[in-house]
Amino acid sequence: MSVSSDAGFGETEPELLEQMIRTSAARPDDEVKIVGRGTMALLLGLCRRGFARASCFVGAGPSASERPIDRLWLLDVTSDEQIVSALARFGRGLAGDGRVLIQDRRPALGGRVPALRMLLARHGFSLERLAPAGVVGGLLFCARRRSVTLAHPVQHAA
């Protein structure tokens, strides 16, 4: 997953941006962070649509002083290792109910959906939505950080 190139995402692909917004359920007031190829074209598209708190990650992941991330978009993923690495590096900045949108460029991802669900679950996420990535190919999937629930209610001493 390259962090600098904008190849593959041009001005002629507004339908991909719209699909990414819909799939991740992003709203204009969300803190949206983009990682990977095509960040500038997508960032400009988000800004044109009123997403004033959209930005790109370059280099290191989020710092403790940054606002929590509502939507994290990981672009041009081609392996499970990239997903795990990106979640470890950038996922720590997600808000409690934050979502991650992953653009997976691998062909025929459909057969790997059960394994993908397990991979995400091991890292604290549950798969919410799948959608085709349109003209650039691959698949978009959206996962939400899972809430931790206790199996048994906590009993307080009287």
Give me the pLDDT at residue 20, please. Answer: 93
Domain that holds residue 136: 14-145
Q: How far apart (Å, rounded) are the C-alpha atoms in residues 19 and 42?
A: 12
Q: How far apart (Å, rounded) are the C-alpha atoms in residues 25 and 124?
A: 19
Q: How far apart (Å, rounded) are the C-alpha atoms in residues 18 and 94?
A: 22
Q: How far apart (Å, rounded) are the C-alpha atoms in residues 31 and 116?
A: 25
Q: Given strand 94-104, what is the order of strands in its sheet?
A: 54-56, 32-35, 69-77, 94-104, 139-145, 125-132
62: domain CATH number is 3.40.50.150
Give me the pLDDT at residue 102, please. Answer: 92
Is 4 inside a domain boundary? no
pLDDT 10s digits, 87-146: 988 888 888 889 999 998 887 666 778 888 899 999 999 999 988 877 677 889 999 988
Is 112 inside a domain boundary? yes
Give me the pLDDT at residue 61, please. Answer: 59
Is 133 inside a domain boundary? yes
Confidence of residue 7 (pLDDT cuts 50, 70, 90): very low
Q: Is 41 buried (19+), middle (13-18) or exposed (0-12) by CB count in 10 A?
A: buried
The model's pTM is 0.80
Confidence check: pLDDT of 152 > 90:
no
pLDDT 10s digits, 14-53: 888 999 999 999 999 999 999 887 688 889 999 999 999 9
Confidence of residue 62 (pLDDT cuts 50, 70, 90): low
Confidence of residue 5 (pLDDT cuts 50, 70, 90): very low
Confidence check: pLDDT of 157 > 60:
no
Is 154 inside a domain boundary? no
- Pairing between β-strand 94-104 and β-strand 69-77 as defined by DSSP bridges: parallel
Q: Indicate the SS3 state at residue 71.
A: strand
Residue corresponding to tokens 């990239």: 82
Give me the pLDDT at residue 23, please. Answer: 93
H helices of the chain, in order, are 14-24, 39-48, 80-90, 113-122
In the chain, the number of structural domains is: 1
